């Protein structure tokens, strides 16, 4: 039992060290949630800008996360379009489960989204994240979304009939503050690959750049952390 507790604590530290909000709010890779949560007492604010399919419009997701404790985070997101009045908002939460199966940290996530031209949407996820060494960790995530409407389909790749997605991803962290992030999402039957590079400009400010939708949509963004043990 003592060995399991120590293992669980080590996994939690490894997963929390590089927490970053996804496009829809929860801590994760780019659009895939991981099993990490925001550090206790920390507020994370992130904003990005990227084009949708065929470069017809730009989307700017703004997210706020708060680490309630070392097992729970809550968040909210706003998603607008540059040349349209369409917008959406999202509230979300993630809970780290008391499991160390497969030497991984496990977490359940949930979200509720509403906005223009869409019905109310409920989403859920189960993610497992494992630190393979000091610099690399991998994530497997099962995501379910009850989606309807083209606006959020553009943001996340989900169509109105694609409700289940399986994802694999990873993050490599280097001593100079650079992180490389990649994810593969199978939307059954569609699929996409997203990639990003992140650089810690300060202990609180991180910039990122990359692409989503199989290189069709480049993006840039920043995240800033307020308070919390990790920012002290």
Q: Does the structure show a pLDDT above 70 at 190?
A: yes
Domain edges within the chain: 2-231
Contact 35, 11 (CB under 8 A): no
Q: Give which of 26, 7, 16, 4 is closest to 167, Cα–Cα.
A: 26
Assessment of whether the complete model's pTM goes beyond 0.85: no
pLDDT category at 1 given cuts 50, 70, 90 is: very low
CA dist 94 and 118 (Å) reads 24
Question: What average pLDDT is seen over the chain?
Answer: 82
Q: Which two tokens stand for residue 120?
A: 């109310």
pLDDT category at 116 given cuts 50, 70, 90 is: confident
CA dist 154 and 119 (Å) reads 15
CA dist 129 and 22 (Å) reads 15
pLDDT of residue 59: 83
pLDDT of residue 13: 35
pLDDT of residue 148: 53
153, 157, 159, 165 alpha-carbon torsion, rounded to 10°: -130
Contact 161, 190 (CB under 8 A): no
Q: Does the structure show a pLDDT above 60 at 227?
A: yes
Q: What's the rounded mean pLDDT across residues 53-63? A: 75
Q: Give which of 54, 52, 76 is closest to 63, Cα–Cα.
A: 76
DSSP 157: -
Q: What's the rounded mean pLDDT across residues 212-216? A: 77
Contact 46, 23 (CB under 8 A): no
Q: Provide the terminal-to-terminal Cα distance of the chain, rounded to the nearest Å.
A: 32
- Tens digit of pLDDT for each residue in 193-212? 999 999 999 989 999 999 98
pLDDT of residue 158: 43
Q: Which two tokens stand for residue 37?
A: 């949560």
pLDDT of residue 159: 45
pLDDT of residue 55: 52
Q: Which CATH class is domain 2-231?
A: mainly beta
pLDDT of residue 42: 95
Q: What's the rounded mean pLDDT across residues 130-156? A: 76
Q: What's the rounded mean pLDDT across residues 38-52? A: 90
pLDDT of residue 167: 94
Q: What's the rounded mean pLDDT across residues 8-30? A: 65
Q: Which residue has the higher pLDDT, 127 or 155?
A: 127
> Using only C-alpha atoms, what is the Rg of the chain?
17
Number of other CB atoms surrounding residue 108 within 10 Å: 15
Number of other CB atoms surrounding residue 217 within 10 Å: 21
């Amino acid at each position: 039992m003592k060995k399991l507790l120590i293992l669980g604590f080590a996994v939690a530290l490894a997963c929390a060290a590089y927490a970053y909000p996804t496009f829809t709010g929860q801590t994760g890779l780019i659009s895939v949630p991981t099993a990490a949560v925001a550090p206790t007492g920390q507020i994370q604010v992130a904003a990005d800008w990227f084009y949708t399919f065929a470069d017809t419009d730009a989307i700017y997701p703004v997210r706020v996360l708060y680490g309630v404790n070392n097992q729970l985070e809550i968040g909210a997101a706003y998603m607008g379009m540059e040349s349209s009045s369409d917008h959406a908002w999202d509230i979300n939460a993630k809970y780290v489960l008391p499991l160390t199966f497969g030497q991984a940290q496990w977490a359940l996530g949930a979200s509720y989204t509403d906005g223009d031209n869409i019905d109310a949407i409920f989403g859920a996820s189960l993610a497992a994240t494992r630190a393979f060494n000091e610099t690399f960790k991998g994530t497997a995530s099962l995501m379910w979304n009850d989606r309807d409407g083209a606006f959020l389909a553009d943001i996340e790749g989900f169509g109105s009939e694609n409700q289940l997605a399986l994802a694999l991803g990873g993050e490599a962290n280097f001593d100079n503050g650079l992180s490389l992030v990649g994810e593969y999402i199978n939307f059954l039957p569609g699929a996409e690959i997203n990639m990003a590079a992140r650089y810690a400009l300060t202990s609180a400010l991180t910039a990122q750049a990359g692409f989503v939708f199989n290189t069709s949509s480049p993006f840039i963004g920043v995240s800033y952390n307020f308070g919390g043990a990790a920012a002290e």
